[in-house]
Amino acid sequence: MSKPLNGKTALVTGGSRGIGRAIAERLASDGATVALTYNASKGGADEAVATIKAAGGTAFALQADLADASSIPALFDRLDRELIERNGNAALDIMINNAGNSGWGGLGDATPEAWDAMIAVHARAPFFMAQSALRRLRNPGRIINISSALATRPQPMVPIYSMAKAAINTLSHALAMELGPRGITVNVVAPGWTRTDMNASVRENADIVKAIEGDTALGRFGETSDIASVVAFLASDEGRWVTGQVVEASGGYRL
Protein backbone atom coordinates (compact mmCIF):
# COMPACT_ATOMS: atom_id res chain seq x y z
CA MET A 1 0.00 0.00 0.00
CA SER A 2 1.32 3.45 -0.85
CA LYS A 3 2.06 5.60 2.16
CA PRO A 4 2.87 9.32 2.12
CA LEU A 5 6.48 8.87 3.26
CA ASN A 6 7.38 5.65 1.44
CA GLY A 7 11.05 5.74 0.39
CA LYS A 8 11.85 8.65 2.74
CA THR A 9 14.31 8.70 5.62
CA ALA A 10 13.76 10.67 8.81
CA LEU A 11 15.86 11.59 11.83
CA VAL A 12 13.97 12.41 15.04
CA THR A 13 15.92 13.64 18.07
CA GLY A 14 14.58 12.72 21.49
CA GLY A 15 12.56 9.82 20.12
CA SER A 16 12.77 7.73 23.27
CA ARG A 17 9.85 9.39 25.05
CA GLY A 18 7.01 11.88 24.78
CA ILE A 19 6.44 13.98 21.68
CA GLY A 20 9.55 12.73 19.86
CA ARG A 21 8.49 9.12 20.26
CA ALA A 22 5.00 9.91 18.93
CA ILE A 23 6.57 11.70 15.95
CA ALA A 24 8.93 8.78 15.26
CA GLU A 25 6.06 6.28 15.40
CA ARG A 26 3.85 8.43 13.17
CA LEU A 27 6.51 9.05 10.51
CA ALA A 28 7.33 5.34 10.47
CA SER A 29 3.65 4.43 10.10
CA ASP A 30 3.54 6.89 7.19
CA GLY A 31 6.29 4.82 5.53
CA ALA A 32 9.57 6.55 6.47
CA THR A 33 12.69 4.73 7.67
CA VAL A 34 13.17 6.42 11.05
CA ALA A 35 16.36 7.00 13.01
CA LEU A 36 15.44 8.10 16.50
CA THR A 37 17.90 9.44 19.03
CA TYR A 38 18.00 9.15 22.78
CA ASN A 39 20.28 10.33 25.54
CA ALA A 40 19.64 8.43 28.79
CA SER A 41 16.51 6.40 27.97
CA LYS A 42 17.91 3.43 26.06
CA GLY A 43 14.96 1.33 27.24
CA GLY A 44 12.47 3.86 25.86
CA ALA A 45 14.34 4.06 22.54
CA ASP A 46 14.45 0.26 22.20
CA GLU A 47 10.75 0.09 23.02
CA ALA A 48 9.93 2.73 20.40
CA VAL A 49 11.94 0.83 17.76
CA ALA A 50 10.23 -2.45 18.73
CA THR A 51 6.77 -0.84 18.53
CA ILE A 52 7.54 0.55 15.07
CA LYS A 53 8.87 -2.80 13.84
CA ALA A 54 5.88 -4.68 15.27
CA ALA A 55 3.62 -2.39 13.24
CA GLY A 56 5.57 -3.23 10.06
CA GLY A 57 7.75 -0.11 10.02
CA THR A 58 11.52 0.43 9.92
CA ALA A 59 13.45 2.18 12.68
CA PHE A 60 16.69 2.17 14.60
CA ALA A 61 18.02 4.09 17.60
CA LEU A 62 21.19 6.14 18.04
CA GLN A 63 22.54 7.54 21.31
CA ALA A 64 23.70 11.16 21.54
CA ASP A 65 23.88 13.71 24.32
CA LEU A 66 22.91 16.86 22.44
CA ALA A 67 24.10 19.08 25.29
CA ASP A 68 27.54 18.24 23.90
CA ALA A 69 28.10 19.90 20.52
CA SER A 70 30.84 17.44 19.58
CA SER A 71 28.32 14.58 19.73
CA ILE A 72 26.58 15.91 16.60
CA PRO A 73 29.15 15.10 13.87
CA ALA A 74 29.62 11.70 15.52
CA LEU A 75 25.85 11.12 15.49
CA PHE A 76 25.68 11.89 11.76
CA ASP A 77 28.61 9.56 11.04
CA ARG A 78 26.70 6.74 12.70
CA LEU A 79 23.52 7.75 10.89
CA ASP A 80 25.39 7.61 7.57
CA ARG A 81 26.64 4.11 8.29
CA GLU A 82 23.18 2.84 9.31
CA LEU A 83 21.47 4.37 6.27
CA ILE A 84 24.13 3.15 3.81
CA GLU A 85 23.76 -0.36 5.22
CA ARG A 86 19.98 -0.24 4.73
CA ASN A 87 19.55 1.91 1.60
CA GLY A 88 22.94 1.98 -0.11
CA ASN A 89 23.18 5.74 0.44
CA ALA A 90 23.09 8.20 3.35
CA ALA A 91 20.41 10.55 2.00
CA LEU A 92 18.16 12.12 4.59
CA ASP A 93 14.74 13.56 3.71
CA ILE A 94 13.31 14.77 7.01
CA MET A 95 15.00 16.06 10.16
CA ILE A 96 13.01 16.74 13.32
CA ASN A 97 14.80 18.63 16.10
CA ASN A 98 12.70 17.70 19.10
CA ALA A 99 15.03 16.71 21.98
CA GLY A 100 14.82 18.90 25.01
CA ASN A 101 14.96 18.88 28.75
CA SER A 102 12.46 20.79 30.84
CA GLY A 103 13.50 24.12 32.23
CA TRP A 104 11.59 25.25 35.27
CA GLY A 105 13.18 27.99 37.36
CA GLY A 106 12.93 31.76 37.26
CA LEU A 107 15.48 34.54 37.11
CA GLY A 108 16.29 34.42 40.82
CA ASP A 109 17.24 30.72 40.79
CA ALA A 110 19.17 30.71 37.52
CA THR A 111 22.88 29.82 37.29
CA PRO A 112 25.21 30.21 34.32
CA GLU A 113 25.52 26.41 34.21
CA ALA A 114 21.74 25.90 33.98
CA TRP A 115 21.55 28.65 31.33
CA ASP A 116 24.28 26.99 29.25
CA ALA A 117 22.67 23.54 29.50
CA MET A 118 19.26 24.81 28.42
CA ILE A 119 20.56 26.87 25.51
CA ALA A 120 22.90 24.05 24.42
CA VAL A 121 20.12 21.49 24.00
CA HIS A 122 17.28 23.69 22.76
CA ALA A 123 19.11 26.23 20.57
CA ARG A 124 22.73 25.24 19.85
CA ALA A 125 21.95 21.60 19.03
CA PRO A 126 19.27 22.36 16.37
CA PHE A 127 21.68 24.86 14.76
CA PHE A 128 24.53 22.37 14.45
CA MET A 129 22.17 19.52 13.59
CA ALA A 130 21.06 21.64 10.61
CA GLN A 131 24.70 22.31 9.69
CA SER A 132 25.52 18.59 9.68
CA ALA A 133 22.30 17.74 7.83
CA LEU A 134 22.95 20.22 5.00
CA ARG A 135 24.95 17.95 2.72
CA ARG A 136 22.87 14.89 3.55
CA LEU A 137 19.42 16.39 2.97
CA ARG A 138 17.89 15.29 -0.29
CA ASN A 139 15.87 17.90 -2.14
CA PRO A 140 13.02 18.59 -1.50
CA GLY A 141 13.71 17.93 2.16
CA ARG A 142 12.15 18.96 5.42
CA ILE A 143 13.47 20.41 8.66
CA ILE A 144 10.93 20.71 11.47
CA ASN A 145 11.96 22.23 14.77
CA ILE A 146 9.88 21.63 17.88
CA SER A 147 9.57 24.89 19.75
CA SER A 148 6.93 25.96 22.26
CA ALA A 149 4.02 28.34 22.60
CA LEU A 150 6.26 29.97 25.23
CA ALA A 151 8.60 31.21 22.50
CA THR A 152 6.10 33.88 21.58
CA ARG A 153 4.25 34.13 24.93
CA PRO A 154 7.08 33.72 27.48
CA GLN A 155 6.40 33.18 31.15
CA PRO A 156 8.47 34.33 34.12
CA MET A 157 8.71 30.78 35.52
CA VAL A 158 10.67 29.63 32.44
CA PRO A 159 12.69 32.57 31.08
CA ILE A 160 15.69 30.60 29.76
CA TYR A 161 13.51 27.94 28.11
CA SER A 162 11.37 30.68 26.52
CA MET A 163 14.50 32.42 25.18
CA ALA A 164 15.89 29.18 23.77
CA LYS A 165 12.63 28.40 22.00
CA ALA A 166 12.45 31.93 20.55
CA ALA A 167 15.96 31.30 19.20
CA ILE A 168 14.89 28.23 17.21
CA ASN A 169 11.90 30.10 15.81
CA THR A 170 14.34 32.69 14.45
CA LEU A 171 16.79 30.02 13.28
CA SER A 172 13.98 28.32 11.35
CA HIS A 173 13.06 31.59 9.63
CA ALA A 174 16.69 32.12 8.55
CA LEU A 175 17.12 28.50 7.40
CA ALA A 176 13.88 28.64 5.39
CA MET A 177 15.39 31.48 3.37
CA GLU A 178 18.75 29.75 2.97
CA LEU A 179 17.36 26.35 1.97
CA GLY A 180 14.32 27.48 -0.05
CA PRO A 181 16.29 27.50 -3.33
CA ARG A 182 16.93 23.77 -2.78
CA GLY A 183 13.22 23.12 -2.25
CA ILE A 184 13.82 22.32 1.42
CA THR A 185 11.14 23.62 3.77
CA VAL A 186 11.94 24.62 7.34
CA ASN A 187 9.13 25.04 9.83
CA VAL A 188 8.44 25.16 13.53
CA VAL A 189 5.78 23.25 15.40
CA ALA A 190 5.11 24.94 18.71
CA PRO A 191 3.21 22.70 21.13
CA GLY A 192 1.21 24.04 24.02
CA TRP A 193 0.75 21.96 27.19
CA THR A 194 1.15 18.36 26.06
CA ARG A 195 0.88 15.32 28.33
CA THR A 196 4.50 14.08 28.72
CA ASP A 197 7.09 13.51 31.44
CA MET A 198 8.17 17.12 31.00
CA ASN A 199 5.12 18.42 32.86
CA ALA A 200 4.24 15.38 34.99
CA SER A 201 4.83 17.37 38.18
CA VAL A 202 2.59 20.20 36.99
CA ARG A 203 -0.20 17.74 36.26
CA GLU A 204 -0.11 16.55 39.88
CA ASN A 205 -1.70 19.85 40.89
CA ALA A 206 -5.42 19.73 40.06
CA ASP A 207 -5.83 23.51 40.38
CA ILE A 208 -3.05 24.20 37.87
CA VAL A 209 -4.47 21.61 35.46
CA LYS A 210 -7.89 23.25 35.73
CA ALA A 211 -6.38 26.68 35.07
CA ILE A 212 -4.44 25.42 32.01
CA GLU A 213 -7.52 23.69 30.60
CA GLY A 214 -9.56 26.81 31.25
CA ASP A 215 -6.99 28.85 29.30
CA THR A 216 -7.16 26.43 26.34
CA ALA A 217 -9.92 26.96 23.76
CA LEU A 218 -10.32 23.21 23.18
CA GLY A 219 -10.42 22.66 26.95
CA ARG A 220 -7.84 19.90 27.51
CA PHE A 221 -4.14 19.04 27.63
CA GLY A 222 -2.64 18.08 24.27
CA GLU A 223 -1.70 14.47 23.54
CA THR A 224 1.61 13.62 21.84
CA SER A 225 -0.33 12.34 18.80
CA ASP A 226 -1.86 15.83 18.39
CA ILE A 227 1.64 17.19 17.80
CA ALA A 228 2.77 14.26 15.65
CA SER A 229 -0.18 14.84 13.28
CA VAL A 230 0.96 18.40 12.55
CA VAL A 231 4.54 17.25 12.04
CA ALA A 232 3.35 14.50 9.68
CA PHE A 233 1.50 17.04 7.55
CA LEU A 234 4.53 19.34 7.29
CA ALA A 235 6.81 16.37 6.56
CA SER A 236 4.61 15.11 3.73
CA ASP A 237 4.20 16.37 0.19
CA GLU A 238 0.93 17.98 1.33
CA GLY A 239 3.00 20.50 3.31
CA ARG A 240 5.24 21.46 0.39
CA TRP A 241 4.08 25.10 0.16
CA VAL A 242 4.58 25.92 3.85
CA THR A 243 7.98 27.20 4.91
CA GLY A 244 9.41 29.61 7.45
CA GLN A 245 6.29 29.28 9.58
CA VAL A 246 5.57 28.72 13.24
CA VAL A 247 2.55 26.43 13.57
CA GLU A 248 1.26 26.51 17.12
CA ALA A 249 -0.40 23.24 18.13
CA SER A 250 -1.82 24.10 21.51
CA GLY A 251 -5.58 23.63 21.24
CA GLY A 252 -5.81 27.43 21.31
CA TYR A 253 -3.82 28.26 24.45
CA ARG A 254 -4.40 31.79 25.77
CA LEU A 255 -6.15 32.98 22.63
Contact 90, 80 (CB under 8 A): yes
Determine the Cα–Cα distance for residues 237 and 224; give it in Å rounded to an integer: 22
Determine the Cα–Cα distance for residues 106 and 146; give it in Å rounded to an integer: 22
Q: Among residue numbers 61 through 100, which ones bind ligand NAP (CB under 6 A)?
A: 64-67, 98-100
Neighbours of 86 (CB within 10 A): 14
Rule CB under 6 A: say whether 17 interacts with ligand NAP: yes
Half-sphere exposure of 225 (CA within 13 A, CB side): 1
Q: Is 253 among the residues known to form the active site?
A: no
Residue 142: which of 229, 80, 235, 231 has the closest Cα?
A: 235
Percent helix / strand / coil, the chain, rounded to 5: 50, 20, 35
Nearer to ligand NAP, 17 or 136 (CB): 17
- Applying CB under 6 A, among 6, 40, 73, 116 the residue interacting with ligand NAP is 40
Q: Which residue is nearest to ligand NAP (CB)?
A: 18
Nearer to ligand NAP, 18 or 57 (CB): 18
Judged by CB under 6 A, the stretch of 1-9, 83-91, 174-182, 194-202 that binds ligand NAP is 194-202
Contact 59, 48 (CB under 8 A): yes
Nearer to ligand NAP, 121 or 232 (CB): 121
Determine the Cα–Cα distance for residues 93 and 34; give it in Å rounded to an integer: 10
Annotated catalytic residue: which of 76, 161, 221, 253? 161
Nearer to ligand NAP, 99 or 144 (CB): 99
Rule CB under 6 A: say whether 14 interacts with ligand NAP: yes
Rule CB under 6 A: say whether 41 interacts with ligand NAP: yes
Q: Is 209 exposed, middle or buried (0-12, 13-18, 19+ CB in 10 A)?
A: middle
Binding mask 99-138 for ligand NAP (x = CB under 6 A): xxx-------------------x-----------------
Residue 250: which of 176, 151, 156, 123 has the closest Cα?
A: 151
Nearer to ligand NAP, 91 or 202 (CB): 202
Residue 193 three-state SS: coil
Neighbours of 113 (CB within 10 A): 8
- Applying CB under 6 A, among 196, 216, 236, 243 the residue interacting with ligand NAP is 196
Phi-psi region of 184 (alpha: psi -120 to 50; beta: other; left: phi over 0): beta
- Applying CB under 6 A, among 191, 243, 249, 251 the residue interacting with ligand NAP is 191
Q: Please report how close the Cβ of residue 183 comes to ligand NAP at its closest, in angstroms.
A: 26
Residues near ligand NAP (CB under 6 A) are 14, 16-20, 38-41, 44, 64-67, 98-101, 121, 146, 148, 191, 193-194, 196-199
Q: Which residues are annotated as catalytic? A: 161
